[in-house]
């Protein structure tokens, strides 16, 4: 295997993430943005991790109101993609809490179990929809 063939192996996943880009697709399942080494996962007022209820979201330049939840990067062993690395950051929750006067350490908003669980479901769905074997999901 080479880096090129491994990226090509993941092309169907990235192509689907691009088709389901929250930047331009208003469909409910469009919660992704594709990148070269993985993809990002976004949430909406209708589809979000536990704890994000009632959070004010705006569309901005995207197709619908949303907030960033997770980044998913290819996990490498030598020249082979063997897993994905999932990292979540609940910046929107941190900002909401700060506006309410509650200041918690950043570590309380990184890799919250609710965000990891919801994001893992979105990873599994994307890989299955793309017709690819779901890799091991490791938390970043």
For 55-113, write each residue's pLDDT tens digit: 999 999 999 999 999 999 999 988 889 999 999 999 999 999 999 999 899 999 999 99
Domain that includes residue 37, residue range = 3-139
Long-range own/partner contacts, residues 55-63 (CB < 8 A, 24 or more apart):
55/92, 55/93, 55/96, 56/96, 57/92, 61/23, 62/22, 62/23, 62/24, 63/21, 63/22, 63/23, 63/24, 63/25, 63/26, 63/30
Number of domains in the chain: 1
Q: Is the pLDDT of residue 1 over 60?
A: no
């Amino acid at each position: 295997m080479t880096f090129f063939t491994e990226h090509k192996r993941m092309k169907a996943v990235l192509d689907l993430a691009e088709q389901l880009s929250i930047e331009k697709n208003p469909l409910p399942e469009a919660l992704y943005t594709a990148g070269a080494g993985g993809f990002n996962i976004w949430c909406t007022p209708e589809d979000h991790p536990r704890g994000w209820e009632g959070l004010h979201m705006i569309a901005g330049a995207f197709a619908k109101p949303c907030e960033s939840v997770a980044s998913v990067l290819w996990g490498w062993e030598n020249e082979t993609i063997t897993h994905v690395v999932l990292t979540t950051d609940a910046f929107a929750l941190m900002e909401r809490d700060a506006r309410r006067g509650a200041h918690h350490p950043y570590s309380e908003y990184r890799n919250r179990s609710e965000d990891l669980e919801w994001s893992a479901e979105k990873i599994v769905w994307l890989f299955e929809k793309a017709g690819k074997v779901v890799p091991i999901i490791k938390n970043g």
